Amino acid sequence: MIMRFIHKLGSPPYFYQFSGRLLPWLSGICLILFAYGLYGGLVLAPTDYQQGDSFRIIYIHVPAAWLSLFVYMVMAFSGAVALIWRIKITEIILINSAHIGAAFTFLALITGSIWGKPMWGTWWVWDARLTSELLLLFLYLGIIALYSAIDDKRKAARAVAILALVGVVNIPIIHYSVEWWSTLHQGPTVTKFDKPSIDTRMLIPLLVMAFAYKFLYAIVVLLRARNDVLWRERRSQWVTALFDGSK
């Protein structure tokens, strides 16, 4: 059943049609989630007794950091599917995710460093999470660079799929090693996340924001993938028919 659906979704015209129908729904849900999450986070949630209002940046920072890992997992999964079944759509999803993932990783780094300023008094601290995030950014940039260096895009997609799988094996190792490294070297004592407990009024908007980010990712990746599909299939009949009909 599921396999048949995946294969069906793998056909470019069906994917184009299906994603077209999906997008308005995704956008609607995403808007609602963002509205609630931002309102809840920036207005409803109580002020932190230690950090004051500056803690509110977590509603931007933490979901971005979570998403940056999530996107990599999606890439590794679609990479595996692309390698095994050679489905074009998964190749397209994979490579279009890389740019988005890199963007969110960058966002997490920037917001983390902005948050660091009032917390630690400097823009950058070699904190374990920030350092892992920085390395993750390099993994993303490597994927993007490799993809753009190979001219034949099907070949490039296969290369990137292999790299994503190698990366996904390495991410836990890198993360663990960096954490281990920072416990030996770490100076600053205030860690951002290891609070004994977080108020539910703070937590719920955070989780909502995390979902909102995921929907945003889904929307952007579908939009990009649809463009890519049209471009790659520009010589095929169904694309020509699509554009003749709209004129």
Partner 1 sequence: MFKSLPAYTKSKVLAVKELAIEKSDRWLFQNVSFELSPKEVLHLEGENGSGKTTLLRALCGLTIADKGDVYWNDVSIHQQPYDYHLQLSYVGHSDGIKQDLTVLENLRVAMVLSRSIYKVSDKKIMREILENIGLKNKEDTLAFHLSAGQRRRLAFARCLLNDSALWILDEPLTALDVKGVSFIEQAIQAHIERGGLAVITSHQPLNIKNVRCTRLNLSAVA
Partner 2 sequence: MLQAFLVILQRDLILAIRHRAELMNPVLFFVLVVVLFPLGVGAEISILQKIAPGIIWIAALLSALLSLDRIFRTDMEDGSLEQMLISAQPMSLLILAKIIAHWMITGLPVVLVGPLLALFLGLSTEGIETLFITLLLGTPILSAIGSVGVALTVGLRRGGVILSLLVLPLYVPVLIFASQAVDASAAGFATTAPVAMLSALLLLALSLTPWAASSALKMSVS
Q: Which residues bind partner 1 (CB under 8 A)?
A: 86, 151-154, 232, 234-235
Choose the contact partner of 1 out of partner 2, partner 1, none; CB within 5 to 8 A by kind.
none
Handedness of CA 206, 216, 191, 113 (dihedral sign): negative
Choose the contact partner of 162 out of partner 1, partner 2, none; CB within 5 to 8 A by kind.
partner 2
What stretch of H or E contains 82? helix 58-85
Give yes or no for a contact between 144 and 99, defined as CB atoms under 8 angstroms apart: yes
Residues 155, 195, 201, 234: which binds partner 2 (CB under 8 A)? 155
How many CA atoms, within 13 angstroms, populate the side-chain half-sphere of residue 4?
1
Choose the contact partner of 139 out of partner 1, partner 2, none; CB within 5 to 8 A by kind.
partner 2
What minimum distance in Å lies between the beta carbon of 198 and partner 1? 50
Per CB under 8 A, 159 contacts partner 2: yes
Q: Which residues pair with 48 in a beta bridge?
A: 52
Per CB under 8 A, 181 contacts partner 2: yes
- Of 84, 61, 80, 83, nearest to 72 by C-alpha is 80
Per CB under 8 A, 85 contacts partner 2: no
Choose the contact partner of 232 out of partner 1, partner 2, none; CB within 5 to 8 A by kind.
partner 1
What minimum distance in Å lies between the beta carbon of 232 and partner 1? 5
User: What HEC string does 178-189 produce?
Assistant: HHHHHHHHCCCC
d(CA 143, CA 72): 11
Choose the contact partner of 177 out of partner 1, partner 2, none; CB within 5 to 8 A by kind.
partner 2
| Residue count of the chain | 247
Q: Which residues pair with 52 in a beta bridge?
A: 48
Q: Give contact residues for partner 2 (rule: CB under 8 A).
A: 83, 135, 138-139, 141-142, 145-146, 149-150, 155, 158-159, 162-163, 165-167, 169-170, 173-174, 176-178, 180-181, 184
